Structure 1
Amino acid sequence: MTRITNYGRYLSETDKVNNLIKLIRSRLAARALAKDPDLIKHAYGSLDEVNRLWGWVPSHDEWRELLARPVADIRLELTARNQRMDRLRIDCPFFRLSDHGLDFTDEAQRRRIWWIAKRLAGISTRDELFVRSDEYEQKRRSWYGYLRPSSGAACRAGGAT
């Protein structure tokens, strides 16, 4: 499967899970930003640190433009489900603020977020164009002990396909 410009297509299930993990982290950052708007200045500092360590990246200019907006707009953008934000979340400055209350380094929390994203990727109907192979469905059966019904009629009848 190849990536196309249509939102919702992923290279793999792993790609989908990783995007969902970043979305979950962004939602946590948006909640934290509502409580502490000073996180914006720390996000600028995070961008400066990354620029110093690894050099300039074009998305950092986009982040600076985004961080200059009102807090409500930043929060809406952080939680937006679109291609632009999927791309920007790769370099999200809020993910590097462990000294300021947004700590994503805790192993238990990371595993919990991963598991939630994995479940969402498996049950999401948002991406109808994501096609699962028969091989994947067989692995899924071993993971969860069932196969997802292919239609609502099968669910209502109580049978699995």
Structure 2
Amino acid sequence: MDKFLKTVIIGAASGAAAAYFLSTEKGKEFKAKLTKAYQAYKQEPEHYQQTAKEKAAEYSQLAVDTFNDYKEKWQTGELTKDDLLSAAKEKAGQAAQFANEKVNEVKKKYYADDPSDAAAEDVTAEVDDIIIDYPETDDEADFSDTEQNQSETEEKQ
């Protein structure tokens, strides 16, 4: 019952947020664009469905190609554990910076009336520890499961 109540509260909060957004000027513009897009979809649904299928296949192939590229670099030694860790830290830092900027923008808009409010101060998320499980030795780094899954996927196609 507790889980159901939480679900209802989250749903109500989401609905209230959506209603508020749609009542703003940007929300009205978004709603108008969405209505136009829906009308266009109703006239040619097969075209939009085909386009969606093509995009999904395109992104799927891109993901497979990217994975194979990284796998090949890992096996040849071009890519090391340190490279992976530094790339992960860089991406995490970028994500934290983006999140900080968005949170601070919202806070500044929300607390614009009372800048002395303590909650209006800038929020800064810090990325200190990134934990990545990787094998201790290169011998343990076995991609055989991945290769097997990929070959099964190719057979199904």
TM-score, normalised to structure 1, is 0.33
Give the TM-score of the pair, scaled to structure 2.
0.33
Which structure would you say has the larger Rg?
A: 2
